[in-house]
C-alpha cells in the first residue's frame, strides 16, 4: 500500500508511493481542499492539468448538504463530483468542534446543532465511518476531538482520551472496498500527551497516521514542536499526514520533519482576497503597484494564468469583481503548491533536497496576514 522509496541524508524527508483504490499518489503530496465537493473556483480538468493527484473532501459539510443519500444515489463521491482520482475525506471531527453551535459531548460522539439551520444532529465514530463508507473515499479519517490551542492541560488530556477511544471504535467499523483508514494523533504541544496518544493510536494498526491539532491558530514554533514530538512514534513504513497546513515554506520544513501528506485552504482562500503566492512570499495582485505591470504574477511560472495574463489585467478583473480574476489567482496559487511538491520530490530523488530547502526557506518572506487567513476558514 505504501512504498518508502528514498530517505534524505540531511533531514527526515522521505519520498514514497501510496497506492489507493483510485490510483497511485507520489509523496510528499499536497491535496487541494474541496470542502463542499469542489476545490473552490477550479474544475477537475484544471486540477488534472496542474498535476493534482488526490483531493480532500469534507464529511461534515457534505453530509449536511447534499446529504448522504444523494451521494450514495450518484454511486459515491467520485461519481457525484466527477473526480476519478483518489479522494481523502476528513471525519468531520474538526468541524463539529469548530463550526457547530451548541454541542454536547457524549460517550459515542457529539450531539450538535447544524451551523446552517440549527437542526439537531449527531456525529460520532460510527456515523463518521458510515458516511465515509457511503462516499467511498480512498482514505477515510477517524473521528477525533481537535481542541483549540488555548485549551487547558485537563482539556487536552480528555481530548486525547476521547480520541483514543473513538479511534478504536472507528477501527471496528466496516469500510468501503479498498478504503484505507488513517488514525489521528492529538495532544497539543505537550510531549507526554503526544507520545501517549501516538503509542495508543499506532498500536491499533491503521494504514497511515495523521498529526491533528496543528492548524488551530497556534504560532509556527508550536506547529513544528507538535510535529517533532509526534513523528518519532510513527512507523517509518507508513504515510504521515499533517492536517490543515501550511504556507509554502512551512510545507518544505514539514517535509524535512518527515511528513508525506498535506492539505490546506490557503491557496484558494487567499486567492479570493486577490493575494497570490510566489516562491518569495505573497503579493497582492490587487495592489496599485500592479496597475501597469504587464508581467505575469510570477516570472517563469508555467500555470495557465501566468502563461496567458498580466498582473495589470488580473488586477483590473479583481477590481471590477470579474469571476475570472479570482479563478486565475486560484489557478496560480494551487499550481504553485503542486509544483512545489513536485520540485521537492525531484530534489529528494536527486539527493539535493538539503540545498533546495535552505535556499527556498531563506528566500521566502512569510506574511502575517496570510497566516491568519489560514485559521479563518476550514
Pairing type for strands 208-211 and 240-242 reads parallel
Helix (H, G, I), strand (E, B) or coil at 219: coil
Min dist CB 339 to Zn ion, Å, is 9
Q: Is residue 306 part of the contact set for Zn ion (CB under 5 A)?
A: yes
90 conformational bin, left if phi > 0, alpha if psi -120 to 50, beta if neither: beta
Judged by beta carbon, residue 140 or residue 306, the one nearer Zn ion is 306
Of 133, 327, 332, 374, the one binding Zn ion (CB under 5 A) is 332
Judged by beta carbon, residue 5 or residue 342, the one nearer Zn ion is 342
Region from 177-185, 186-194, 305-313, 344-352 binding Zn ion, contact rule CB under 5 A: 305-313
**Residue 293 among the catalytic residues:** no
- Whether residue 329 contacts residue 276, with contact meaning beta carbons closer than 8 Å, is answered with yes
Q: Catalytic residue, from 26, 260, 263, 293: name it.
A: 263
Q: Catalytic residue, from 90, 138, 144, 260: name it.
A: 90
Q: Is residue 181 part of the contact set for Zn ion (CB under 5 A)?
A: no
Judged by beta carbon, residue 238 or residue 301, the one nearer Zn ion is 301
Of 81, 180, 283, 301, the one binding Zn ion (CB under 5 A) is 301
Helix (H, G, I), strand (E, B) or coil at 141: strand
Smallest Cα–Cα separation from 343: which of 362, 325, 356, 359? 356
Which strands, in side-by-side order, build the sheet including 109-113? 101-106, 109-113, 120-123
Tell me the C-alpha to C-alpha distance, in Å, between residue 31 and each of 36, 267, 268, 297, 341.
14, 11, 12, 23, 10
Q: Is residue 303 part of the contact set for Zn ion (CB under 5 A)?
A: yes
Q: Scan for cell 463542499, then name that residue.
A: 36
Region from 108-116, 185-193, 247-255, 306-314 binding Zn ion, contact rule CB under 5 A: 306-314
**Residue 263 among the catalytic residues:** yes
Pairing type for strands 120-123 and 139-141 reads unpaired
Judged by beta carbon, residue 303 or residue 348, the one nearer Zn ion is 303
CA distance 92 to 198: 20
Judged by beta carbon, residue 226 or residue 301, the one nearer Zn ion is 301
Region from 158-166, 203-211, 301-309, 345-353 binding Zn ion, contact rule CB under 5 A: 301-309
Region from 40-48, 101-109, 115-123, 332-340 binding Zn ion, contact rule CB under 5 A: 332-340
Min dist CB 307 to Zn ion, Å, is 8
Q: Scan for cell 444515489, then name that residue.
A: 73
- Whether residue 188 contacts residue 219, with contact meaning beta carbons closer than 8 Å, is answered with no
DSSP-H helix ranges across 82-230: 93-98, 125-135, 153-171, 191-202, 220-230
Min dist CB 366 to Zn ion, Å, is 20
Positions annotated as catalytic residues are 90, 263
Residues near Zn ion (CB under 5 A) = 301, 303, 306, 332
Amino acid at each position: 500500500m505504501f512504498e518508502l522509496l528514498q530517505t534524505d541524508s540531511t533531514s527526515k524527508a522521505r519520498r514514497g508511493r501510496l497506492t489507493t483504490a483510485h490510483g497511485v499518489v507520489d509523496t510528499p503530496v499536497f491535496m487541494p481542499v474541496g470542502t463542499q465537493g469542489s476545490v473552490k473556483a477550479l474544475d477537475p480538468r484544471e486540477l488534472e492539468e496542474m498535476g493534482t493527484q488526490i483531493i480532500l473532501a469534507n464529511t461534515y459539510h457534505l453530509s449536511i448538504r447534499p446529504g448522504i443519500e444523494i451521494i450514495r444515489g450518484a454511486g459515491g463521491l467520485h461519481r457525484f463530483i466527477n473526480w476519478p482520482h483518489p479522494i481523502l475525506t476528513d471525519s468531520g471531527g474538526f468541524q463539529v468542534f469548530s463550526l457547530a453551535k451548541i454541542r454536547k459531548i457524549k460517550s459515542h460522539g457529539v450531539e450538535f446543532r447544524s451551523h446552517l439551520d440549527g437542526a439537531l444532529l449527531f456525529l460520532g465514530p460510527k456515523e463518521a465511518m458510515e458516511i465515509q463508507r457511503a462516499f467511498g473515499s480512498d482514505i477515510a479519517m477517524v473521528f477525533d476531538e481537535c481542541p483549540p490551542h488555548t485549551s487547558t492541560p485537563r482539556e487536552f488530556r480528555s481530548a486525547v482520551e476521547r480520541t483514543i477511544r473513538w479511534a478504536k471504535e472507528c477501527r471496528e467499523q466496516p469500510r468501503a472496498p479498498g478504503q484505507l483508514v488513517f488514525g489521528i494523533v492529538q495532544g497539543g504541544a505537550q510531549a507526554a500527551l503526544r507520545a501517549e496518544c501516538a503509542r495508543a493510536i499506532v498500536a491499533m494498526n491503521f494504514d497511515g497516521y495523521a498529526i491533528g491539532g496543528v492548524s488551530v491558530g497556534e504560532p509556527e514554533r508550536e506547529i513544528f514542536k507538535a510535529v517533532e514530538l509526534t513523528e518519532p512514534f510513527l512507523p517509518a513504513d507508513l504515510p504521515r499526514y499533517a492536517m490543515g497546513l501550511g504556507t509554502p515554506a512551512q510545507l518544505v520544513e514539514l517535509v524535512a520533519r518527515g511528513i508525506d501528506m498535506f492539505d490546506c485552504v490557503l491557496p484558494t482562500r487567499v486567492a479570493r482576497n486577490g493575494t497570490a503566492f510566489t516562491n518569495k512570499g505573497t503579493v497582492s495582485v490587487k495592489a496599485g503597484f500592479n496597475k501597469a505591470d504587464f508581467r505575469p504574477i510570477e516570472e517563469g511560472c508555467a500555470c495557465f494564468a501566468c502563461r496567458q495574463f498580466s498582473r495589470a489585467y488580473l488586477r483590473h478583473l479583481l477590481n471590477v469583481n470579474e469571476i475570472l480574476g479570482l479563478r486565475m489567482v486560484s489557478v496560480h496559487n494551487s499550481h504553485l503548491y503542486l509544483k512545489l511538491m513536485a520540485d521537492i520530490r525531484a530534489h529528494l530523488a536527486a539527493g539535493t533536497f538539503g540545498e533546495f530547502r535552505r535556499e527556498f526557506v531563506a528566500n521566502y518572506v512569510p506574511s502575517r496576514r496570510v497566516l491568519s487567513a489560514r485559521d479563518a476558514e476550514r
